[in-house]
């Protein structure tokens, strides 16, 4: 008797094996498990909902087309490697720079909305201002829950480099956000 691919007991890798074998419902389950996280990753990497929507769709199209290339290992790392490569290509094609003074002006604007929503928006903007080499591992770790090793494998970077980049990203966020949040405490 074949297990249903919507069974939450099946691992991502087992579902991917079923999908490679032609079981389309397994792909639907993988999409359901990861669509929000991949979309959020794309938004954070590209700083644009419109660009992220297009790229997000392309990620899952590539997963479907390239499913035969998935081998043993972490499905989530493979999936986010696809998303990462597409994001980096999009960033390379459309380089834009934001002035740090613009970020500071945004952070010092008084909050008119609920404090929680305002704080989240300030944090989102601060993350967007991180250089891609610092923003990417931070987003993968904090928002997508990947381990340091998975990030290192996905980005083809040394484990120590990933740890340093995440540390530096957190340090920069602390420096950028501390004037705003210290006033609130």
CATH number at residue 125: 1.10.10.10
Instruction: With beta carbons less than 8 A apart as the criterion, state whether 166 and 143 touch.
Output: no
pLDDT value for 102: 43
Residue 103 and residue 90 share a domain = no
Do 73 and 20 fall into the same domain? yes
* Residue 112 binned pLDDT confidence (cut-offs 50, 70, 90): very low
Last residue of a domain, one of 45, 61, 96: 96
Whether the pLDDT of residue 99 is over 70: the answer is: no
pLDDT in tens, 5-19: 455 689 999 999 999
User: Are 103 and 126 within one domain?
Assistant: yes
State how far the Cα of 43 lies from the Cα of 46, in Å rounded to an integer.
Answer: 5
Name the percent of the chain lying above pLDDT 70.
78
CA–CA dist 96, 37 (Å, integer): 24
Q: Does residue 146 sit in the same domain as residue 67?
A: no
Question: Where among 96, 111, 138 does a domain terminate?
Answer: 96
Residue 32 confidence (pLDDT) above 80:
yes
Where helices occur in the chain by DSSP H, the ranges are 12-20, 24-46, 49-65, 75-93, 100-108, 115-128, 132-142, 148-155, 159-184
Residue 52: which CATH number? 1.10.1740.10
What CA–CA distance (Å, rounded) separates 114 from 36?
24
Distance, in Å, from the CA atom of 75 to the CA atom of 150, rounded to the nearest integer, reads: 10
- Do 104 and 24 share a domain, yes or no? no
Q: Which of 73, 61, 54, 58 is nearest to 16 (CA)?
A: 73
pLDDT in tens, 43-64: 888 888 888 888 988 899 899 8
> What pLDDT was estimated at residue 34?
93
| Backbone Cα Rg of the chain | 19
Distance (Å, rounded) from C-alpha 77 to C-alpha 16?
13
Which DSSP symbol is given to 113?
S
Confidence of residue 30 (pLDDT cuts 50, 70, 90): very high
Domain edge (last residue) among 96, 124, 140: 96
Residues in the chain: 185
Query: Taking residues 20-33, what's their average pLDDT?
Result: 90
* Domain span holding position 171: 98-185
- pTM, rounded to two decimals: 0.57
Average pLDDT over residues 136-154: 84
Q: Would the pLDDT of 110 be above 60? A: no
């Amino acid at each position: 008797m074949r297990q249903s691919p919507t069974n939450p007991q099946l691992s991502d890798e087992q579902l991917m094996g079923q999908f490679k074998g032609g079981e389309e419902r397994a792909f639907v389950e993988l999409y359901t498990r990861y669509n929000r996280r991949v979309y959020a990753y794309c938004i954070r990497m590209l700083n644009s909902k419109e660009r992220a929507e297009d790229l997000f769709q392309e990620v899952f199209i590539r997963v479907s087309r390239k499913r035969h290339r998935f081998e043993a290992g972490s499905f989530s790392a493979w999936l986010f490697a696809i998303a990462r490569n597409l994001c980096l290509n999009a960033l390379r094609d459309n380089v834009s720079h934001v002035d740090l003074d613009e970020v500071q002006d945004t952070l010092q604007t008084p909050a008119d909305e609920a404090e929680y929503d305002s704080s989240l928006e300030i944090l989102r903007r601060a993350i967007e201002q991180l250089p891609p080499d610092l923003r990417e591992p931070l987003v993968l770790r904090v928002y997508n829950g990947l381990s340091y090793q998975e990030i290192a494998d996905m980005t083809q970077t040394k484990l120590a480099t990933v740890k340093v980049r995440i540390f530096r990203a957190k340090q920069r966020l602390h420096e950028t956000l501390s004037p705003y949040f210290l006033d609130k405490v």
